[in-house]
């Protein structure tokens, strides 16, 4: 038995989510009830049966489905909401260890789904829930095939997260597999590092032909640019998720192993949000954040305020600083179009210092 409240806790293209209570063995368990629309009942029952058998700490557990008065999915309630909203609300408080941890936990969950022959199709921070500050869960896995099967309008397709090869295929012939989810994982990690910025927000796309224009943009070699709080080493990993040839992309086992290593020393790969306001890029030739930058960050933390501490010319020179940033990472950074790049040539994936094409926006 389920008691559904009138309190809406979420919503989207395919229905709304309400809080409720699931009565089980005399206990009232807080749940989230997603009321779906435009979904084939038999297909949903089939997918839900598969989802109910999955067991992973970073996948949302499915309690069941309810077919009375509409189709409903019942899952544990996560009051902290989606990772997308959590990142936006807490961008001044989240540390590198947490950002890298989120990427690792998602990779771990996706590796498990692949082992069970399940493709997500719609991986993004909006489809990740926050259980605790240090524990997130991928949700809506297995449902995307049911929810998106009748989509025709590009505006309703999650095209900003979709692998480039899918943008150039008819939807009824689109082939989803691990490599397409890997592309979406790379975009999701980019979201995490930019505190839920919108991918390609600064790119001019032709509204009626948004899929083909984005495909052309990506085919020409353009990608989401390195977030300023992200090391070259970590950015290289993201670029490999976006390789034009799906075969050359990392699989989730490799990605999980890489982020497992990254989270052992997160400050080597990601700086804090507060420090992003201060410096555009402080990385060594090896692509890591160096000791000089770490000492600078420690100085900033000890200052105990949001004010930018004064730095002399010697410090500035030793850190290789070229620009001071006055605005947070909420700014959008993207590659400018480069028509000389080739879709069949992966050589551009080698990371080079990007100060030549970063555009620092003025306040």
131 annotated to a ligand binding site: no
Contact assessment for residue 245 and residue 180, using Cβ atoms and an 8 Å cutoff: no
Q: Which of 92, 122, 206, 330 is the catalytic position?
A: 122
**To 5 degrees, how large is the angle CA 255–CA 260–CA 265?**
125
User: Does the annotation mark 122 as catalytic?
Assistant: yes
Residue pair 60/138 in contact by the 8 Å Cβ criterion:
yes
Cα end-to-end distance, the chain, whole Å: 54
> How is residue 138 annotated by DSSP?
E
Long-range contacts of 272-276 (CB under 8 A, 24+ apart): 272/95, 272/96, 272/229, 272/297, 273/91, 273/92, 273/94, 273/195, 273/229, 273/328, 273/329, 274/92, 274/300, 274/306, 275/229, 275/300, 276/228, 276/229, 276/325, 276/328, 276/329
**Both structure tokens of 220:** 């020409």
The structure tokens 């970063």 sit at 358
From the number of C-beta atoms within 10 Å of its C-beta (0-12, 13-18, 19+), residue 289 rates as buried
Give the pairing of strands 128-132 and 64-66.
unpaired
63 half-sphere exposure, CB direction, 13 A CA radius? 20
Half-sphere exposure for 35 (CA within 13 Å, toward CB): 15
Q: If we measure between CA atoms, which residue out of 12, 164, 176 comes closest to residue 81? A: 12
* Binding-site annotation, residues for ATP: 34
Active site residues: 122
């Amino acid at each position: 038995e389920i008691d559904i409240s009138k309190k809406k806790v979420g919503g989207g293209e395919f229905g709304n989510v309400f809080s409720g209570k699931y009565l089980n063995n005399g206990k009232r368990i807080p749940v989230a009830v997603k009321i779906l629309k435009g979904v084939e009942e038999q297909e949903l029952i089939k997918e839900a049966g598969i989802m109910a058998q999955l067991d992973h700490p970073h996948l949302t557990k499915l309690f069941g489905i309810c077919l009375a008065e509409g189709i409903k999915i019942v899952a544990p309630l996560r009051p902290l909401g989606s990772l997308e909203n959590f990142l936006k609300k807490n961008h001044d408080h989240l540390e590198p260890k947490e950002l890298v941890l989120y990427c690792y936990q998602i990779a771990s969950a996706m590796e498990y789904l692949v082992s069970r022959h399940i493709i997500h199709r719609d991986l993004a921070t909006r489809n990740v829930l926050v259980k605790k500050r240090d524990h997130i869960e991928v949700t809506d896995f297995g449902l995307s095939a049911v929810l998106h099967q009748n989509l025709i309008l590009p505006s309703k397709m999650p095209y900003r997260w979709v692998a480039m090869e899918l943008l150039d295929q008819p939807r009824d012939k689109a082939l989803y597999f691990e490599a397409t989810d890997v592309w979406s994982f790379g975009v999701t990690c980019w979201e995490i590092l930019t505190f839920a910025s919108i991918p390609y927000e600064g790119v001019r796309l032709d509204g009626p032909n948004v899929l083909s224009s984005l495909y052309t943009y990506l085919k020409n070699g353009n990608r989401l640019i390195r977030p300023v709080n992200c090391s070259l080493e970590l950015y290289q990993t993201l670029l490999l998720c976006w390789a034009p040839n799906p075969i050359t992309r990392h699989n989730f086992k490799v990605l999980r192993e890489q982020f497992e290593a990254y989270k052992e020393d997160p400050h080597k790969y990601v700086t804090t949000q507060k420090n992003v306001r201060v410096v555009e890029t402080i990385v060594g030739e090896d692509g890591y954040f160096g000791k000089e930058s770490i000492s600078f960050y420690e100085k900033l933390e000890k200052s105990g305020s949001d004010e930018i501490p004064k730095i002399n010319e010697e410090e500035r020179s030793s850190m290789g600083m070229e620009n001071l940033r006055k605005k947070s990472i909420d700014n959008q950074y993207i590659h400018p179009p480069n028509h000389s790049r080739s879709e069949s040539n992966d050589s551009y994936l080698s990371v080079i210092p990007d100060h030549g094409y970063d555009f620092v926006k003025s306040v």
